[in-house]
Chains A and B, each alone.
Chain A
Amino acid sequence: MNTTQWRQVKKLFDQTIDLPKSEQSSFLKKNCNDSEIINEVLGLIAAEESNQTVSVKGLNTIVISGAHKLIFQEQGLNPGDQVGAYRIQKLIGQGGMGSVYLANRTDEQFEQNVAIKITHQTIKDSELSVRFAFERQVLGQLEHPYIARIYDAGRTIDEHPYIIMEYVDGENIIDYCNRNQLSLNARITLFNQVCEAVHYSHQKGIIHRDLKPGNILISEIDDKPTPKVIDFGIAQNDFQRNTSDNIQASFSRDNSNNKINHESSVEINTSSKSNEGRLGTPSYMSPEQLASPEAVDIRSDVYAMGVLLYHLISGCMPFKIKSQDLEEVLKIKLSYATPPSIQLLNNKNNQMLAEQRQLNVKSLSKALKIDLDAICVKAIHPEVNSRYSTISALADDLSCYQQNLPVSAVSNQHFYRLTKQFKRNRFQFIAASVFIIGLFAEIITTSYALVQETKAHELAQQESDKASAINQYLQEMFLTADPRKKGKQTKIVDVLSHAEDNIEDSFKNLPVIKASLYSTFGKLRTGLNDYDIAMTLLLKAKALQEQFLGKNHVDTLTTTNLIGEVYASQNELPTALGIFEENLIQTRRYLGNTHRLTMTTINNVAVNNYLQNEDEKNEVAMQKALSMMEELLALRTQVLGEEHAETSHARNNLAYMYGNFNQPQKALKLFKKNLEIQIRVFGEKNYFTLSTRNNIGIQYQDLDQLDEAETYMQASYVGLKEIQGVEHINTLRSAVSYISLLVIKNKIEPAKIIIQEIEKSLEKHPQVWNWFDEKTYQLAKNHLELKE
């Protein structure tokens, strides 16, 4: 391009660019006969247009981000500067808040390389200095072959804190494993060495708090990969939060780690307004650590190690975190992780990931299935108590996996908690008396009836002329969703959201009706396991009811009870129990002991008390809960009659408690009585009736009457499969007890058929694996693997 040509290009460009697209090329051809120039002009126009789209990074952005990087580098130290007894050699890493330098000791005969981390922020507070000194002492005690030593720490003359540590010339664990195409087994072995180091530090009372690939470096010693964990315990207190915790850098080849990939790179900084930072790598941070950095214990490290394991073995991250918003990230983190074997199948790079592990996609997914899936899911459980309680428990499970022994995350023999979960899930335990479980038709008829009976009636008294409006609304919404008419379950959910969205507009000036509807929909959502939506609706209801009806009104108390049930459904027993106990006081006082809500609340207090104390093996308290349930059964029989649905629920719950208290005969008798009544009241094809069949089967099994057990369990499984589908969690619960029984009876082939039937459902509900006993688990696992 020469100046003359360019002048022509410029002129034509200005004349053409604002013309309609269709006219551009004909205009150019008319005004210019040099095709090179025409092409240049068209190319420029295209470039200008693409610049209008968001995807092209603006020139300004490039310059500004370059300037940012400049400034980060400009802070800190220069080669030759002295820090403590060390002389700075060069910058080897840098991050948002500080830098890492390679330095060596100058006052000794032999040269020793160290890494020095230094922060931009300064500390002047004397209290911080004291803590800092203490910290230095504790960290100095960490002596482990897989932990980078901390040699010293201090402050520069201008108050910048620094830490001097062992210099590790290594590569981050993920990159190392991928570059060397390490097998799953080799990866797990390496991971377990890291576990040793982390466990060691936990024994010394030090929590790492920022475990992630960039802090686990691998170097080869005698041709063997050897891990070194760096930044140990650095994120421990205020001092550290002001210092190295914020340094998103690491060493050597890993210098770019602070933005290692899109999945781990989002840095969340809630500290823009204060020094109370939470800067870290959210992909690896546990939800409790994200929510409140102070509330961290060793199980947060378990979580981070779980994410690392997940990433290491599958190449995928358990959660896609793109947002920088703390609330949003926290929400993602509070959900359950998809098992890695499934995540892998959804990953578009899975072929490459499998090759990096010397496998193909299918064999990798298969290798991850069940054991490793369960180990990962358990390690990164959103609920702290459901995780491995120590790093060594996680490592032990991995060792078991490597030696082909059953792993605790899957079988249930090793942990009381899981045994308990298994036991509890054998029974279809009705946690709340008016609780509606998953049955769509059931929900609609029951809740509609309930609204008519209790709510609509009371509302009619208060706003009698409005009562027909609410009835009509409900009818409209529910009748269109009646499965007998439309037959599709998904429709109901749609109708629900539609109905929920319309409440506000439909009942603008009718807060009481509005609240009542919110409450009812909240209850429906609880039944559908949509707990977040349920809670939102119920809180809206409660606020309105407290304002317009008062705290002690039956509607308000009903909503409060439902809120407790949402907590209970999510296994947050202490919270739930607190709500129920408080509500029981209120309902007794304002509604009396024989009110249905009071009785429901008694049930909830008894059940939750029982479950919670079962966790803690507190037999006295369990016995107390049992007595309470006995009283409730008597009370309901008296008030509602023997055949009332709620009476039958109390009977079921009491029988469950008897069974667990080593009174199988008593339990069996009560369950059987309940079955008779339920068949009369609900019919055969009903969730409650069929659950009772399963429960009876279990009692027979405990009494060693296996043939009777089989008859009942089979009927339960077949019936539930028919009415709820094989994917429903209730059906799976029944299936698991049925399969286990078949295995005990050595009916292996029939057991395999059922395993086959629920295979797909197991993928959807991996937690169901936890309900199997060891033998059945092995059978199921082998069978599903062989089949592939």
Chain B
Amino acid sequence: MTYIPIDNDVTQLLDEWHQGNKQALDKLTPVVHEELHRLAVQFMQKETDNHTLQATALVNEAFIKLAGIDIKWQDKVHFISMAARIMRNILVDHAKSKNAHKRQTNKNSIEFNDEIYANNSSLEELITIDELLDKLCIFDERASKIVELTLFGGLTQPEISELLQLSISTVERELRIARAWINKHR
């Protein structure tokens, strides 16, 4: 795994992206992607008592590492939005590849034992959630975004309200109905 040094260009790229430069995002994404990976692995190797991975911690840490702390608020908003999206992609891609692996290894088995693959169910659920978020986005982009920020960016409701310039109660309401809709369809 290659080490990604703190890259001052990141700030610049964020700024450009914010200005509407799509290419900046293309350049930014792999950098953030790798950093999130690296942090996740490092996190696990710390062998702490509590192995619970918190997406929040990773996204925040990635942000500090990549962009430094002295960054404009607007940039942070965009960075976190992007990191949440990347986190989502990483996890879902991973889940999909794992699932493919499962299908492949299981093809010779005549009998399917549910119990054995019970542990993969959360991966399938993850894929389902991803698909539902895409569907929701078609008729309610804002609600979909709020769920994404919560689940994959690890943001709290006040943070989202600040980020998206919405009242906390609006965020709460959006989150509640979006969650209900996902749960209904999953």
Partner-B contacts on A (CB < 8 A): 1-3, 6, 10, 13-14, 17, 43-48, 50-51, 56-57, 59-75, 120, 171, 175, 178-179, 252-253, 255-262, 265, 272-273
Across-interface contacts of A253 in B (CB, < 8 A): 105-106, 108-109
B184 interfacial by beta-carbon distance below 8 Å:
yes
Across-interface contacts of A48 in B (CB, < 8 A): 176-177, 179-180, 183
B111 and A66 contacting across the interface, CB-CB below 8 Å: no
In the assembly, what is the distance between CA of A114 and CA of B37, in Å? 29
In the assembly, what is the distance between CA of A70 and CA of B43, in Å? 12
In the assembly, what is the distance between CA of A654 and CA of B41, in Å? 71
**Max count, chain A CB within 10 A of own CB: residue among B102, B115, B183:** B183
In the assembly, what is the distance between CA of A252 and CA of B91, in Å? 24
Nearest first, the 8 closest Cβ-Cβ pairs linking A and B are: A259-B119, A47-B184, A48-B180, A47-B183, A44-B180, A66-B126, A261-B115, A65-B122
Chain B interface size, as a band, is 35 or more
Identify 4 new A-B residue pairs, CB closer than 8 A, beyond the known A44-B180, A48-B177, A67-B91.
Answer: A47-B180, A255-B101, A259-B119, A261-B116
User: Provided the pairs A1-B139, A75-B41, A175-B113 are in contact, do residues A66 and B177 lie with their beta carbons within 8 angstroms?
Assistant: no
A67 and B139 contacting across the interface, CB-CB below 8 Å: no
Across-interface contacts of A45 in B (CB, < 8 A): 180
Give A66's nearest chain B residue, CB to CB: B126
B25 interfacial by beta-carbon distance below 8 Å:
no
In the assembly, what is the distance between CA of A47 and CA of B151, in Å? 18
User: Provided the pairs A10-B177, A48-B179, A178-B111 are in contact, do residues A63 and B91 lie with their beta carbons within 8 angstroms?
Assistant: yes
Give A43's nearest chain B residue, CB to CB: B184
**29 contacts across the A-B interface (CB closer than 8 A):** A2-B139, A6-B140, A13-B180, A14-B177, A44-B181, A47-B181, A47-B184, A48-B177, A57-B125, A62-B126, A63-B91, A63-B126, A64-B54, A65-B122, A66-B91, A66-B92, A67-B55, A69-B122, A72-B44, A73-B94, A74-B37, A74-B40, A75-B45, A175-B109, A178-B111, A179-B110, A256-B119, A258-B119, A262-B118
Across-interface contacts of B173 in A (CB, < 8 A): 14
B139 and A69 contacting across the interface, CB-CB below 8 Å: no
Smallest CB separation, A339 vs chain B (Å): 24
The prevalent SS among residues of A at the interface is helix
A51 and B126 contacting across the interface, CB-CB below 8 Å: no
Selected from A51, A71, A273, the residue in CB contact (under 8 A) with B43 is A71
Give A257's nearest chain B residue, CB to CB: B116
Encode B120-160 as 1/0 by CB contact (under 8 A) with A: 10110110010000000001100000010011100000000
B176 and A60 contacting across the interface, CB-CB below 8 Å: no
A252 and B184 contacting across the interface, CB-CB below 8 Å: no
Across-interface contacts of B118 in A (CB, < 8 A): 259, 261-262
Across-interface contacts of A179 in B (CB, < 8 A): 109-111
Smallest CB separation, A243 vs chain B (Å): 15
In the assembly, what is the distance between CA of A735 and CA of B69, in Å? 84
A13 and B182 contacting across the interface, CB-CB below 8 Å: no
In the assembly, what is the distance between CA of A361 and CA of B32, in Å? 58
A63 and B116 contacting across the interface, CB-CB below 8 Å: no
Smallest CB separation, A120 vs chain B (Å): 7
User: Provided the pairs A75-B41, A179-B111, A260-B116 are in contact, do residues A51 and B179 lie with their beta carbons within 8 angstroms?
Assistant: yes
